[in-house]
Amino acid sequence: MVVLGIVAADPEPTYGYRIAHRLKQSGMGQIKGGTLYPVLARLEAEGLIASSWGEGDGGPGRKFITITPFGRDELKRRAEEWRAFIRIALDVLPDELDS
């Protein structure tokens, strides 16, 4: 869901390296391609994102990724479910945990 959110937030088509960089900047740590690219493939297989090949910045071609309309709808739905889960979990967890 976080990867889909990053793709949705980018005003232009994005690509794997930029997504990994945004994940790292957000505090999720260094995400390697062996983790990220299968996630992107699954999102594309589910119809949540679309990809196309284009020219890179002076280097080899790059696979550009955009969110689909279905992906936007699903992101909204899943985010609402996640927020509801977090509210329930926070109600269950004690405010302070003993050491």
Helix or strand or coil: residue 95?
coil
Q: pLDDT tens across 28-85, in order?
A: 889 887 889 999 999 999 999 999 998 777 777 889 999 999 999 999 999 999 999 9
Sequence-ordered alpha helix ranges (H) in 1-99: 2-9, 16-23, 33-45, 69-92
- Supply the pLDDT for residue 99: 57
Report domain extents, the chain.
Answer: 2-92
Q: Which fold has domain 2-92?
A: Arc Repressor Mutant, subunit A (1.10.10)
User: Rounded CA gap, 49 and 47, in Å?
Assistant: 6
- Three-point CA angle 3, 45, 50, nearest 5°: 65
